[in-house]
Amino acid sequence: MRDFEYEAPASVAEAVKILSRHNGSARPLAGGTDLIDQIRTGRHAPQVVVDIKKIPELSVLELTAGGLRLGAAVPCYRMYGDPRISAAYAALADSARIIGGIQIQSRASVGGNLCNSGPAADSTPSLIALGAVAVIAGPAGQREVAVENFCTGPGKNVLAPGEFLVELKLPPRLPHSGSHYRRFIPRNEMDIAVVGVAASVVLDGSGEKFVSARVALGAVGPTPLFANEVGKLLAGQPVNEQTIAKAADAARAIARPIDDMRGTKEFRLHVTGVLTRRVIEESVQRARS
Amino acid sequence: MAKRRVVTTTINGRQTEFLCEPRQTLLEVLRDTLDLTGAKEGCANGNCGACTVLMNGRPVDSCLVLGVETEGAVLETIEGVAPVDGLDPIQQAFLENAALQCGICTPGFIMSCKSLLAENSDPTENDIRFYLAGNLCRCTGYDKIVRAVLDAAKKRNAEPAPA
């Protein structure tokens, strides 16, 4: 692997200082499952690798009445290893359980998955569906960006030189709500999504009507897509096959996939509809139980 | 060249210090510096699991960990698995069930199995296949490996718990 320096700051301020000093030629290291491979293959050539795992805020995993605080370096296994989080933020646990194999899940973080900004990232649609906000630190202080506005293109995002992701904030789980993430892959595990869909629904007390919903699509556009129209369409509607079929059509209309080695455009559009239906149905089941 | 650093870890129960460059992976340090050649390099990108070791009790691909990141960590490699007088029950089960042919993937599989059985003492076939998805074997077709793990779990559960 090509040569680089290694720094392991103990505070957000110190990390910002190091990152700013190198003006874009330093890269934060969380689980390293993307970065180390990208350095090896030459896709990234940082002069400095900044290990952010020694910063306390980056390892926070805190569930309170105010919601979930998820430090940007918290590894995937801690998501599904905590029954309270798997229950309240089920879509996120669904994603964390299928990113890579067990070895990858020991290291890879949801924050890293977001910052790598791959269009097929498995945890980003779940973050969007659950209404997560990214907390970013930089030379000008902290700022917050809704996760649906974080990625700007394949491998690209809103982080400016000197900035890095500190944590993700998720709103508290509402009563009668449920969420789910599912992807299509030709294998059973260890693969990249051909299409991925996340949904989060809130039902009324009877469990027969959508109060609100958020749906997000992965691998069918240059970034993970927030399917805002699908949520608008579901709000206030009865929970039935017809409503959900309309939602699936709306999701297909938002998807703008490409043909590639993993699937054709036509196939991806079809799968978007099928997964949207299944993911909403499962979210409803979870909201009711 | 970036300055080499002294890293202090515990490997297989023994405090171990090594010198490494930031760009060296844990796998390179284990194999080339410490002569612990049990962990194998297969793909070198986190797909095959041949380099699996336990870091603070969790299975990791050592090709995707920097040596410098292991400061203060507790590491377990295949070299620390067998007791002095024989084999670990998982190793024994791999032998008895012919769960290996060329053997390159075996150290990684054994380390993942150790972690699996520590988390779940009575895994189903599905649990095993899912847990071992990050370990590739191009010889056995996996069936014999799955049977070996089921066998190891059964034998462990039949033994009285250690006092």
For residues A278 and A193, membership in a common domain is answered with: yes
The three-state secondary structure class of B53 is strand
Asked if residue B162 has pLDDT above 70, the reply is no
In a domain, A23, yes or no: yes
In a domain, A256, yes or no: yes
The three-state secondary structure class of A26 is strand
In a domain, A129, yes or no: yes
Q: Say yes or no for a CB contact (<8 Å) between A107 and B64.
A: yes
Average pLDDT over residues B92-110: 97
For residues B66 and B100, membership in a common domain is answered with: no
Nearest CA to A286 out of A148, A187, A173 is that of A173
Tokens of A123: 């945890």
Q: Say yes or no for a CB contact (<8 Å) between A106 and B59.
A: yes
Nearest CA to A105 out of A130, A74, A72, A63 is that of A74
Name the band, by pLDDT with cuts 50, 70 and 90, for residue A239: very high
Residues forming a β-bridge with A195: A184
Q: Which of A170, A198, A220 is the last residue of a domain?
A: A170
Nearest CA to A58 out of A135, A161, A147 is that of A135
Asked if residue A269 has pLDDT above 60, the reply is yes
Residue A201's domain comprises 180-288
In a domain, B163, yes or no: no
For residues A107 and A198, membership in a common domain is answered with: no
Q: Which of A1, A48, A103, A187 would you mutate first to test chain B, the one with the most B CBs within 10 A? A: A103
Residues of chain A positioned with their CB less than 8 A from the CB of B40: none
Residues for chain A: how many in total? 289
Q: Say yes or no for a CB contact (<8 Å) between B133 and A77.
A: no
Distance, CA of B152 to CA of B114 (rounded, Å): 10
Q: Which of B80, B111, B135 is the last residue of a domain?
A: B80
Long-range CB contacts (within 8 A, 24+) of A243-248 = A243/A210, A244/A277, A244/A280, A244/A281, A245/A277, A247/A213, A247/A215, A247/A276, A247/A277, A247/A280, A248/A272, A248/A273, A248/A274, A248/A276, A248/A277, A248/A280
In a domain, A106, yes or no: yes
Kind of pairing between the strands at A26-29 and A48-51: parallel
Which CATH number covers residue A9? 3.30.43.10
Kind of pairing between the strands at B5-11 and A67-71: unpaired
For residues A121 and A161, membership in a common domain is answered with: yes
Give the total number of structural domains in chain B: 2
Q: Which of A5, A102, A105, A189 would you mutate first to test chain B, the one with the most B CBs within 10 A? A: A102
Give CA angle at B58 (B76, A95), nearest 5°.
Answer: 155
For residues A65 and A39, membership in a common domain is answered with: no
A141 CB within 8 Å of a chain B CB? no
Contact A107, A35 (CB under 8 A): no
Residues of chain B positioned with their CB less than 8 A from the CB of A53: 69
Distance, CA of A97 to CA of A77 (rounded, Å): 7
Closest chain B residue to the Cα of A33, Cα to Cα:
B64
Asked if residue A53 has pLDDT above 90, the reply is yes
Asked if residue B47 has pLDDT above 90, the reply is yes
Residues of chain B positioned with their CB less than 8 A from the CB of A37: 45-46, 64
Average pLDDT over residues A131-157: 98
Tokens of A278: 């299944």
Q: What is the DSSP string of B7-19?
A: EEEEETTEEEEEE
Phi then psi dihedrals of residue A251, to 5 deg = -65, -40
For residues A72 and A110, membership in a common domain is answered with: yes
For residues A194 and A254, membership in a common domain is answered with: yes
Distance, CA of A13 to CA of B54 (rounded, Å): 32
Distance, CA of A4 to CA of B72 (rounded, Å): 22
For residues A79 and A102, membership in a common domain is answered with: yes
Q: Which of A170, A191, A213 is the last residue of a domain?
A: A170
Contact A113, A99 (CB under 8 A): yes
Q: Which of B59, B80, B101 is the last residue of a domain?
A: B80
For residues B71 and B123, membership in a common domain is answered with: no
Name the band, by pLDDT with cuts 50, 70 and 90, for residue B2: confident
For residues B11 and B75, membership in a common domain is answered with: yes
Please tell me the predicted confidence (pLDDT) of residue A188. Answer: 85
Which CATH number covers residue A84? 3.30.465.10
Asked if residue B73 has pLDDT above 90, the reply is yes
Q: Say yes or no for a CB contact (<8 Å) between A102 and B59.
A: yes
Closest chain A residue to the Cα of B51, Cα to Cα:
A103
Which CATH number covers residue B137? 1.10.150.120
Number of other CB atoms surrounding residue A10 within 10 Å? 10
Tokens of A104: 């990858």
Residues of chain B positioned with their CB less than 8 A from the CB of A7: none
Q: Which of A143, A170, A197 is the last residue of a domain?
A: A170
pTM above 0.90, yes or no: yes
For residues B15 and B60, membership in a common domain is answered with: yes
Name the band, by pLDDT with cuts 50, 70 and 90, for residue B161: low
* Cross-chain CB nearest to A103 (options B23, B61, B66): B61
Average pLDDT over residues A114-130: 98
Closest chain A residue to the Cα of B134, Cα to Cα:
A101
Give the total number of structural domains in chain A: 3
For residues A94 and A130, membership in a common domain is answered with: yes
In a domain, A175, yes or no: no
Residues of chain A positioned with their CB less than 8 A from the CB of B134: 100-104, 190
Which CATH number covers residue A267? 3.30.390.50
- Predicted ipTM? 0.95
For residues B52 and B111, membership in a common domain is answered with: no
Nearest CA to A138 out of A13, A268, A272 is that of A13
Q: Sheet with A61-64: list strands edge to edge.
A: A61-64, A67-71, A164-170, A133-138, A141-146
Q: What is the DSSP string of A259-276?
A: -BTTB-HHHHHHHHHHHH
A37 CB within 8 Å of a chain B CB? yes
Q: Which of B80, B111, B145 is the last residue of a domain?
A: B80
Residue B48's domain comprises 5-80
Phi then psi dihedrals of residue B19, to 5 deg = -105, 135
In a domain, A11, yes or no: yes
Asked if residue A211 has pLDDT above 70, the reply is yes
Residues of chain B positioned with their CB less than 8 A from the CB of A106: 55, 58-60
A101 CB within 8 Å of a chain B CB? yes
A33 CB within 8 Å of a chain B CB? yes
Distance, CA of A51 to CA of B73 (rounded, Å): 15
**Number of cross-chain residue pairs from A and B with Cβ atoms under 8 Å apart:** 92
Average pLDDT over residues B55-74: 98
Distance, CA of A104 to CA of B2 (rounded, Å): 27
For residues A44 and A84, membership in a common domain is answered with: no
For residues A60 and A80, membership in a common domain is answered with: yes
For residues A39 and A115, membership in a common domain is answered with: no
Distance, CA of A192 to CA of A186 (rounded, Å): 9
Please tell me the predicted confidence (pLDDT) of residue A23. Answer: 80
Closest chain A residue to the Cα of B115, Cα to Cα:
A102
